[in-house]
Amino acid sequence: MTASRSSPEGEIIPPLGAPVPVPDYAPAGIEAQGETRSRPARQSRGADLLGSPATYLLVGINCAVFLWMLHSGVSFDSTTDLVRFGATSTSLMQNHGEWYRLVTAIFVHGGWIHLATNMWCLWNLGMLGEPLLGPFGLVAVYVLTGAAGNLLSMAWNVMRGYDEVGVGASGAVFGIAGVLIVLLSNRKLPIPWEELRRLRRSVIQFAILNLIIGGATLFTRDFIRIDNGAHLGGFLSGLALGVPLVPRMTSGRERYLGRQKVTFAVAALLLSLFGYWIANIPPIR
């Protein structure tokens, strides 16, 4: 490697407005026989402490890791400290096999503002996405798209010969946005089509705006560094994950969960193969 640089993923702008209640994709107890009934939309999802357990879990883990870092006296300006807590490091992953960093890095943040903006976006998108994906699906999308974003960023760094350090949940947040854009295109959902279009349009605007902001920082990297590779990789992988899920969304809980498991297993395999390819790329000098 020819350079060592720190590249936290940076802050992303939260979606506008409060979380919108969405009916569950298939209520508990419905067998996988093509039924499309749904629970009534929750009017106050914030008051339902059991309504979005995966969203609460993911936000809680991110906040707990940040508090652990504070308690340990971490300097957020120190790449050494960030790496110690699980940040991605191109050289450590490619040359020393520390691939676990693809996942640990999506729970590590580089400061209060970085954490707060990412968690606000995760909260909003998680509340919207969890009824459509279920708790298992939301966690799987978060981890897989976050890892995919970090892999794409790593591939770019390897080809440039840079040893960069990256942290943040924003790649996974973009992944959730990507899968939502696809899932909200399903006209069979028990939601009026105009409402689906409005929700999808809001998520698209969120993704485009933040991708543009990230791209603009390419010209200000001495002051603001955003890992555009992680954002783009997370977003594209989220779009890809959504495509095979749409046909089974209203075919009953069991069939939908079965399709999710197959989709996520195939995605994990493809990411492993992509990682193997990256590990064998000779750095461009």
Which tens digit of pLDDT belongs to each residue from 233-275? 999 999 999 999 999 998 888 999 999 999 999 999 999 999 9
Cβ neighbors of 174 (< 8 A, separation 6 or more) are 12, 145, 149, 207, 210, 211, 230, 231, 232, 234, 235, 238
- Kindly report, residue by residue over 199-238, the tens digit of the pLDDT: 999 999 999 988 888 777 666 555 456 788 999 999 999 9
Between 11 and 268, whose confidence is greater? 268
In angstroms, the CA 123 to CA 117 distance is: 10
Coarse DSSP helix, strand, coil percentages of the chain, rounded to the nearest 5 percent:
65, 5, 35
Strand, helix or coil at 6?
A: strand
pLDDT for the residue numbered 285: 55
Choice between 95 and 176, residue whose per-residue pLDDT is larger = 176
Q: For residue 61, what are its two tokens?
A: 């883990």
Percent of the chain with pLDDT over 90: 59
Which one is catalytic: 38, 114, 231, 251?
231
pLDDT of residue 221: 54
**Domains along the chain with CATH numbers:** 52-279 (1.20.1540.10)
Q: Which residue has the higher pLDDT, 132 or 43?
A: 132
Which tops the pLDDT comparison, 161 or 106? 106
Q: Is 109 annotated in the active site?
A: no
Identify the pLDDT of residue 83. Answer: 95
Mean pLDDT of 181-202: 90
Q: Which 8-state DSSP code applies to residue 79?
A: H
Check residue 49 and give its pLDDT. Answer: 55
Average pLDDT of every residue of the chain:
83
pLDDT of residue 31: 36
Rg of the chain, C-alpha, whole Å: 19
- For residue 216, what pLDDT is reported? 73
185 a catalytic residue:
no
Alpha-helical segments (H) within 72-111 = 79-84, 90-96, 101-104
Say what the pLDDT of residue 70 is.
95
DSSP code of residue 80: H
* Mean pLDDT of the region 60-73: 96
As a whole number, mean pLDDT of residues 100-108 equals 97
Token duo for residue 95: 């040359």
Angle between helices 112-160 and 193-216 (to 10 degrees): 70
DSSP H or E run through 5: strand 3-6
Helix (H/G/I), strand (E/B), else coil: 45: helix
Residues 86, 75, 121, 231, CA torsion sign: negative
Q: Could you tell me the pLDDT band of residue 12, with boundaries at 50, 70 and 90?
A: low
Whole-angstrom distance, CA of residue 152 vs CA of residue 170 = 14
pTM: 0.84
Question: Mean of the pLDDT values across residues 173-201?
Answer: 92
What are 22-61's pLDDT values in tens digits?
Answer: 556 543 333 333 343 344 444 444 445 567 899 999 999 9
pLDDT at position 224: 56
Beta strands 3-6; 162-166: pairing state: parallel
Instruction: Considering the candidates 170, 202, 237, 251, report the single residue annotated as catalytic.
Output: 170
- Estimate the crossing angle of helix 170-183 against helix 228-245, to 10 degrees: 30
Per DSSP, the residues of 160-193 read HTEEEEE--SHHHHHHHHHHHHHHTT-TTSSS-H
